[in-house]
């Protein structure tokens, strides 16, 4: 740890920080595992809020646990429980107390019950804290250990270089109890005050939080908005070397006391910048969000053209087996479009934004250094993003969506599925009207008994999505070739087909997906001498070297002699 602390803080302060962190580690004994993190083809992650499912007269975490036991246990190894702490805004991300469970959701015992059947992924919201938190109140009071908690900036200083993820003001005015007015750094909102990691009191407090989560059973720690962690006036204040050193510090701490815990960086930025958070392959994050996948996959289906997607997929090769991608298409946030920079021209991003608006969605913007605004995020459920509003009704809506998920589930990495994608949720327009926030459109609170009833009706929209998706996930989890680090070979089989093979020592799977509404004839390549093939999803055998793909059909082809699960 000491070399990293010296790099961040210099010799003198780094030495003090080193002593304090070693003392902290001594007061937080955690049983160290002997093995390093290992990924598996059975790794699948559900993303959900603690209250995405609700039942009358029952705490939401109890409801989630019961629903998970009934509908999710065969599908997922891990549940990403979005911030379940007391919060003042942003659906949990304005944390008021890092150590408590929001009593409206449940308690730590409920979290532990959920963790008895699934590994837990927990948000480490380390960039900011609620302006209504006790910590921030103590900062306003100038209490020892809290006097430098936040980042005060002279409002006349030129901050035009700072990368902005929002169109909101960067600085917010507060009044200390002494009467002094201060302008504090607030990257995301006036209710989310950025923490000052240049102060080792803040570092010590947040490392204590990290250790607390590990002690409570967190198997994966999601480093929320970590790219903005370190501020240096006169720079872009994103991807700073100190930020990377800080993540390496967290990794070094965990390697010492809990090497089985995985760090996942949430960095909604262009693809090449995103990959930098792997470090040298073994010293920084073990997983990064594959942020380019959601918008690029959407674009490929809308255009019925695999050209750009295929070219990008050829870059999905990592140097270290200790790393992998967190593959997702939907999450609690919208579909970020910054990761398309350098991949698609601006007019194609505008095309995507217009498509989403036509499908009932919203477009959130960010402020550029020159004062202009540009699309930052498309707010819509992924299911409705893939609806063709030109067709009424859209006969291929569900099939097109499932085809997109088949790609997500078969690419290198670990698939992460948002609960509203799994359950076939549509745009929640009533929620947007209620909160006046675009992101609410895919954060609906569902009635769990009603959802369970709907899943029992196999003819209903929600059931059609869930049951097909569930079978896909069960099948995927049993295939060695879908190990997150199994090899990838991208194939060029025509502009309307996205094709690739995944291989390990015991198995090769050929993934074919028709991105179009037309029937397409595909010549199956000879992949590692594969013989007669069978689609492991439908158990249908193919005796010819040519296959006709129906509109939006997807196949996972494997040698027939292989065991089909």
Within 10 angstroms of residue 439's Cβ, the number of other Cβ atoms is 18
Residue 542 in any domain: the answer is: yes
Q: pLDDT band at residue 562, thresholds of 50, 70 and 90?
A: very low
pTM of the model as a whole: 0.95
- Of the candidates 102, 224, 388, 535, the residue annotated as catalytic is 224
Q: Are 19 and 202 in contact (CB under 8 A)?
A: no
Residue 521 in any domain: the answer is: yes
Mean pLDDT value across residues 425-436: 96
Q: pLDDT band at residue 118, thresholds of 50, 70 and 90?
A: very high
Residue 186 in any domain: the answer is: no
Is a pLDDT exceeding 80 seen at residue 369? no
Q: Give the pLDDT of residue 392.
A: 84
Asked about 11 being catalytic, the answer comes back as: no
Residue 523 in any domain: the answer is: yes
Q: How far is CA 42 from CA 258, 389, 510, in A?
A: 22, 36, 19
Containing structural domain, residue 531 = 487-559
Q: What is the DSSP letter of 203?
A: H
CA atoms within 13 A on the CB side of 400: 23
Is a pLDDT exceeding 60 seen at residue 229? yes
> What does the alpha-carbon distance between residue 2 and residue 6 come to, in Å, rounded to a whole number?
6
> What does the alpha-carbon distance between residue 409 and residue 405 come to, in Å, rounded to a whole number?
6
Longest CA–CA separation in the chain, Å: 81
Mean pLDDT value across residues 209-219: 95
Mean pLDDT value across residues 428-455: 96
Mean pLDDT value across residues 204-216: 96
Residue 131 in any domain: the answer is: no
Q: Are 335 and 355 in contact (CB under 8 A)?
A: no
Strand partners, 128: 194
Q: pLDDT band at residue 493, thresholds of 50, 70 and 90?
A: very high
Task: Note the helical H segments in 72-179.
Answer: 108-117, 134-140
Residue 464 in any domain: the answer is: no
Residue 491 in any domain: the answer is: yes
- Give the E-state strand segments of 104-230 in sequence order: 119-124, 128-130, 171-175, 181-185, 192-194, 218-223
Q: Give the pLDDT of residue 35.
A: 54
What is the number of domains present in the chain? 1
Q: Give the pLDDT of residue 29.
A: 63
Residue 210 in any domain: the answer is: no
Task: Note the helical H segments in 27-59.
Answer: none
Q: What is the CATH number of the domain that holds 530?
A: 2.60.40.1180
Q: pLDDT band at residue 340, thresholds of 50, 70 and 90?
A: very high
Mean pLDDT value across residues 247-256: 95
Give tens-digit pLDDT for 66-108: 999 999 999 999 999 999 999 999 999 999 999 999 999 999 9
Q: How far is CA 414 from CA 52, 408, 418, in A?
A: 22, 9, 13
Q: Give the pLDDT of residue 561.
A: 60
Q: How far is CA 494 from CA 265, 295, 374, 516, in A?
A: 35, 21, 33, 11
For residue 310, give the H/E element and its range: helix 307-313
Is a pLDDT exceeding 60 seen at residue 151? yes
Is a pLDDT exceeding 70 seen at residue 527? no
Strand partners, 534: 541, 558
How long is the chain?
565
Is a pLDDT exceeding 50 seen at residue 148? yes
Mean pLDDT value across residues 43-67: 97
CA atoms within 13 A on the CB side of 205: 22
CA atoms within 13 A on the CB side of 315: 12
């Amino acid at each position: 740890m000491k070399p990293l602390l010296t790099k961040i803080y210099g010799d003198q302060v780094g030495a003090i920080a080193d002593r304090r962190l070693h003392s902290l580690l001594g007061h937080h004994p955690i049983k160290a595992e002997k093995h390093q993190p290992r990924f598996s083809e059975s790794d699948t992650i559900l993303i959900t809020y603690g209250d995405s499912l609700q039942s009358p007269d029952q705490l939401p975490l109890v409801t989630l646990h019961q629903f998970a036991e009934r509908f999710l246990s065969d599908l997922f190894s891990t549940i990403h429980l979005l911030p379940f702490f007391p919060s003042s805004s942003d659906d949990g991300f304005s944390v008021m107390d890092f150590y408590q469970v929001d009593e409206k959701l449940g308690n730590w015992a409920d979290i532990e019950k959920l963790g008895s059947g699934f590994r837990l992924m927990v948000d480490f919201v380390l960039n900011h804290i609620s302006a209504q938190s006790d910590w921030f109140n103590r900062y306003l009071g100038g209490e020892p250990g809290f006097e430098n908690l936040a980042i005060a900036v002279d409002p006349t200083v030129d901050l035009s270089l700072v990368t902005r993820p929002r169109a909101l003001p960067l600085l917010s005015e507060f009044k200390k109890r002494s009467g002094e007015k201060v302008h504090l750094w607030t990257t995301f909102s006036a209710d989310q005050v950025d923490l000052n990691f240049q102060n080792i009191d803040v570092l010590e407090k947040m490392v204590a939080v990290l250790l607390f989560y590990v002690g409570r059973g967190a198997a994966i720690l999601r480093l929320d908005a970590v790219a903005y962690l370190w501020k240096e006036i006169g720079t872009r204040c994103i991807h700073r070397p100190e930020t990377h050193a800080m993540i390496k510090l967290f990794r070094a701490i965990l390697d010492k006391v809990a090497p089985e815990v995985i760090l996942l960086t949430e960095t909604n930025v262009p693809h090449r910048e995103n990959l930098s958070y792997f470090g040298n392959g073994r010293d920084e994050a073990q997983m990064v969000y594959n942020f380019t996948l959601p918008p690029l996959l959407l674009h490929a289906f809308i255009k019925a053209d695999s050209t750009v997607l295929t070219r990008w997929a050829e870059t999905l090769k990592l140097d270290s087996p200790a790393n992998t991608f967190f593959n997702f298409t939907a999450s609690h946030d919208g579909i970020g479009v910054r990761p398309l920079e350098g991949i698609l021209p601006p007019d194609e991003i505008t095309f995507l934004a217009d498509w989403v608006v036509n499908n009932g969605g919203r477009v959130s913007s960010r402020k550029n250094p020159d004062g202009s605004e540009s699309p930052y995020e498309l707010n819509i459920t992924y299911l409705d993003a893939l609806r063709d509003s030109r067709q009424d009704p859209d006969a291929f809506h569900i099939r097109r969506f499932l085809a997109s998920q088949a790609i997500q589930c078969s690419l290198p990495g670990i698939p992460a599925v948002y609960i509203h994608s799994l359950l076939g949720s549509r745009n929640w327009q009533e929620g947007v009207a209620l909160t006046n926030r675009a992101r609410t459109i895919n954060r609906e609170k569902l009635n769990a008994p009603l959802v369970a009833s709907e899943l029992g009706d196999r003819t209903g929209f929600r059931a059609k999505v869930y049951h097909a998706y569930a079978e896909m996930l069960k099948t995927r989890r049993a295939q060695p070739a879908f190990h997150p680090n199994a090899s990838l070979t991208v194939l060029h089989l025509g502009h309307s087909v996205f094709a690739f093979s995944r291989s390990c020592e015991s198995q090769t799977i050929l993934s074919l997906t028709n991105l179009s509404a037309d029937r397409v004839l595909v010549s199956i390549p000879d992949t590692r001498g594969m013989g007669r093939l069978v689609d492991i999803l439908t158990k249908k055998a193919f005796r010819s070297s040519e296959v006709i793909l129906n509109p939006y059909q997807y196949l996972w082809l494997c040698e027939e002699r292989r065991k089909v699960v």
